[in-house]
Structure 1
């Protein structure tokens, strides 16, 4: 299969699977004889249109988790004739139909299709650029940087996962993780009165950017000399610099000397899976920037209300109660974001496009862990073949001589113990809701199994009212008006990220070649959650929701994309959520 065909096949999987979790006007049926003969697919997904035509999408795999696999040829039946066609033709046909069906989406088909084509082209470009690297990644152990830059396909339930609206090809090559991008950081010196420079109450580092600055210019005799009394080093993503320099406030600061442009540093930085977060093994901190770029559902500007939550998480976990959690779950670590910095205008208002977040870096030069972000572990192999979880399972089976099915269930059990248990207990016993989707969970692998889990990206963290009662008095920044003290909405968001986004994808990845049935892994998951509920935690509400509700809420990326929404500025984030059947409850009914 050539690169274009691979890109189209992966794109089709993401597009269709995101759609069919949000729109249910379809059937899965036995394939017509012609399709079964030509594709070898016994089943097809069937969509009927009002004009009498029918669309058949042959399935190479029908997944309980909704992560179906599709043949590369699709069929349209019209006036009794069944004709084969390609993915982009089918996508255009569907999008024109769906803009008449989905609310608030009329007239958005051209924008949607442009973004889809951009994503397809980017995936093709990346696969060609990284072909040799990928063969190594799927053969050998990898470090944090390699794993972050190994997410080639992106969100497997999004219609255009690698869309980069705002990048030209040169930008894409330099700043995208899937292109193995690397670049030098740009530095300014700023007077304190033009900066917002906030840190958590318990964070002991007074000037974190000085530490990064000195590391970034290490080896230069002028490193310390570049620092000037009365100024604070202020880092800027080199792509974002062009946007900041167009800002009249920034232009004025440069003229008055409140801001001094030092230019690029010397050490390499690498974009991680989220693109706007960057990593350098030489630095004690990673950083996350505002970028004036549209990725998937939103313009990637950080907001003050988001970044304050990173400070909250740090101070919450410094309390005696949360320290108890850390002691009880030594296999789990939060990667904290204890500070942020931004320019402000003369009225004191933050320039959101200038925000930079300080994120701790556990993966410095001396760390030899095989630390792999879950989204890379669970993605379909970009070049075809077994995914990374399957490869770990196969290595262990070959080493021990035990059946693949047995090792698959043991691997999943270890994932539940290392990653799911701490997150569920954080919610149930400590009132802390960590938004643990696939890009926010990192698994440290040892001897082919998960040994430790890291959680990052604290800006999506919320607290139940029970949690607020535990920490509200001790953490000054934890306030009701921040918007992250949540009622039942918190369970919906928490369960979507940890279960639907992360754990269901782990199940689909493990069961991709039928070494074990998805239903059996879901049953293992249900028993795992039942055992936690039977331990009588402080708050049963989320466990009850997952174990007992026949339907649970799912984030509708297709809906958001078709409506051309900026998710970050939506008045009600749950407006794009929809109900799907809950397999965790369903396996109990079948049993």
Structure 2
């Protein structure tokens, strides 16, 4: 490693430069930009594998130096901690240096612009795509600052105190930890975000519509296909119960004959009314508005899925906006995946899995519906809504937290929530901190990783368990169980189709989610390991609780023991444990070229190789 000389200011343990300690507004901006920098540069470095590590002699500061070849300059990125095979913690301010010239501080957005001006980075991106992407970077930075200003007083609770399901969902301030634009949400305005986005901790009413029965279609896991009248009757009954239990502002309203109630997200309903097809349906009386709900609903971490502590179901809507890599309009094939999850649960395979892992639950999505103009053969995807099981009612909403909130960076370089839980556990049990980390992490492996790996290896069931899809339950500070949600990210290997075909002969056809061995293993490992479990390792190691190397060795030993059991399919274990490289999603590439990930024909087109930290 090279050494350099650098004019670098001291920092206190808070992670704030001395000049910001007494400036509240500046501190908020600095903390927000710290989160944006961590997400952006980790995505950039992972996908380009560029940069050289150097050490500053005066401050003993470790820096990552990124060459700007076309402008004959270098970008210096100070590091608070270096992730060996996972994720770094960067530290503002950033610096740019001319060849043989002086150091100059550079603003975060300007540093992003310098990187995007280098055509050697992501050469397939056009000038127009780079300009559009830089604008999204600007929006994401601004949005992050708005979030931090709004939630500043909640930081102690979110990172240190007991929180319930709702608070954990709305406590994910940053979003994706390895993504260049984690807070990009076009075309949602700031005021709309304050009202509807989870990170602002808002609440709102949904809109209830009455829709002529011939103007909507639906499907239920219990009622057959969307073309059957029985399916529509089952879904209509589910919606009706929700409407009555939702304490509608019009509880005495009686539905006209041949009409059904239909829920709408208030933001999406505003967008839909701009389309002539919806206005025509309103004008003909095919739709009329019953009113707003009286119950409060709140966005979960995904924004388009909403939660009420009084409802047996969460609701997930199509929203005509772009978040991170995708336009968030649901597709019928994705809706059918949620129905299949419920049906699988009732099979011999599903019942056996539940007996083996009673503490791990897959949240099914047992019904969906969408509007359909009179006489049309297809529904309108922008109006899709699905029901998702809600086990987080009453006291069951306590002592749970999604993994992304556990691992997210603290804006002022303090410990993340997972690290603080481990420290509390160490104190409560009078354990050395490294012993406490290994005990806590072992419980995570047993209660979260093992059920998902066995679902894949013994039953051919693939659950895309990224950090926002995993909700962990705790008992006395230790992981005791988990929930997987979001059936869009479910699939089946050939093993799964073979085992389930006798009871579900049509499995995977309408849902289009049967994967060959290579595709299945690459995608499954990315979500459960690269995104989720490696992210947890990085979060724990970044604060000095235990080294990454020891935690990766512990994970490897655990997986080897699982592989050595009577597995039906060891191919995923072999790929994960023996490959020199794993394939990781390229969030930066996807964003800079403006790809809509949810509709790309080849999901692996944006994946890239990375060193495998489990190949020890």
Q: TM-score, with normalisation over the residues of structure 1? A: 0.95
1:416 corresponds in structure 2 to 445
SS at match of 1:161: coil
Aligned-pair distance for 1:164? 1.3
2:199 corresponds in structure 1 to 178
CA pair 352-470 structure 1, distance change in 2 beyond 3 A: same
Which residues in structure 2 correspond to 1:65-464 (within 5 Å)? 65-84=85-104, 85-98=106-119, 101-201=122-222, 207-217=237-247, 222-223=250-251, 225-345=253-373, 346-464=375-493
Aligned-pair distance for 1:368? 4.5
User: What CA distance in whole angstroms lies between the structure 2 residues aligned with 1:229 and 1:166?
Assistant: 38
CA pair 359-175 structure 1, distance change in 2 beyond 3 A: same
Aligned-pair distance for 1:99? 7.0
Aligned-pair distance for 1:25? 2.9
Deviations 1:56-86 (A, max 9, x none): 2121211024310112022222130132322
Deviations 1:233-268 (A, max 9, x none): 100000000121122222222222221111211111
Which residues in structure 2 correspond to 1:43-62 (within 5 Å)? 43-62=63-82
CA pair 527-83 structure 1, distance change in 2 beyond 3 A: same
Counterpart contact for 2:183–2:324, Cα < 8 Å: yes
User: Which structure 2 segments of 5+ residues have no match?
Assistant: 1-15, 17-26, 225-230
Counterpart contact for 1:31–1:41, Cα < 8 Å: yes
Counterpart contact for 1:99–1:108, Cα < 8 Å: no
User: What CA distance in whole angstroms lies between the structure 2 residues aligned with 1:240 and 1:470?
Assistant: 40
User: What CA distance in whole angstroms lies between the structure 2 residues aligned with 1:72 and 1:43?
Assistant: 11
SS at match of 1:47: strand
Deviations 1:493-542 (A, max 9, x none): 11000000000011111112112001100001101110011003000010
2:5 corresponds in structure 1 to none
Matching of residue 31 in structure 1 with residue 52 in structure 2: no
CA pair 477-240 structure 1, distance change in 2 beyond 3 A: farther
Segments ≥4 residues shifted beyond 6 Å: none
User: What CA distance in whole angstroms lies between the structure 2 residues aligned with 1:109 and 1:483?
Assistant: 33
CA pair 93-368 structure 1, distance change in 2 beyond 3 A: closer
Counterpart contact for 2:333–2:510, Cα < 8 Å: no
Counterpart contact for 2:34–2:411, Cα < 8 Å: no
2:572 corresponds in structure 1 to 542
Match of 1:17 among 17, 42, 63: 42
User: What CA distance in whole angstroms lies between the structure 2 residues aligned with 1:287 and 1:147?
Assistant: 18
User: Which structure 1 segments of 5+ residues have no match?
Assistant: none
User: What CA distance in whole angstroms lies between the structure 1 residues aligned with 2:114 and 2:125?
Assistant: 18
SS at match of 2:177: coil
Match of 1:5 among 30, 52, 55: 30
Deviations 1:172-197 (A, max 9, x none): 11011110121000110112211111
Counterpart contact for 2:316–2:386, Cα < 8 Å: yes
User: What CA distance in whole angstroms lies between the structure 2 residues aligned with 1:255 and 1:52?
Assistant: 63
SS at match of 2:401: strand
- Farther-moved stretch of structure 1 (390-399 vs 324-333): 390-399
User: What CA distance in whole angstroms lies between the structure 2 residues aligned with 1:434 and 1:336?
Assistant: 12
Aligned-pair distance for 1:379? 0.6
2:612 corresponds in structure 1 to 582
Counterpart contact for 1:65–1:505, Cα < 8 Å: no
SS at match of 1:20: helix
- Farther-moved stretch of structure 1 (468-477 vs 120-129): 468-477
CA pair 316-98 structure 1, distance change in 2 beyond 3 A: farther
Counterpart contact for 1:522–1:583, Cα < 8 Å: yes
SS at match of 1:525: helix
Deviations 1:122-153 (A, max 9, x none): 11111111111222222321110000000001
Aligned-pair distance for 1:162? 0.8
Counterpart contact for 2:86–2:535, Cα < 8 Å: no
Say what the alpha-carbon RMSD is for the aligned residues: 1.8
Aligned-pair distance for 1:364? 1.5
Counterpart contact for 2:68–2:114, Cα < 8 Å: no
Counterpart contact for 2:48–2:121, Cα < 8 Å: no
Aligned-pair distance for 1:88? 1.6
User: What CA distance in whole angstroms lies between the structure 2 residues aligned with 1:215 and 1:281?
Assistant: 12
User: What CA distance in whole angstroms lies between the structure 2 residues aligned with 1:108 and 1:567?
Assistant: 16
User: What CA distance in whole angstroms lies between the structure 1 residues aligned with 2:128 and 2:409?
Assistant: 33
User: What CA distance in whole angstroms lies between the structure 2 residues aligned with 1:150 and 1:228?
Assistant: 42
User: What CA distance in whole angstroms lies between the structure 2 residues aligned with 1:582 and 1:192?
Assistant: 54
User: What CA distance in whole angstroms lies between the structure 2 residues aligned with 1:186 and 1:326?
Assistant: 36
Aligned-pair distance for 1:13? 0.7
Count of residues paired in the alignment:
579
Deviations 1:393-449 (A, max 9, x none): 111111222111111111110101111000000000000000100000000112111
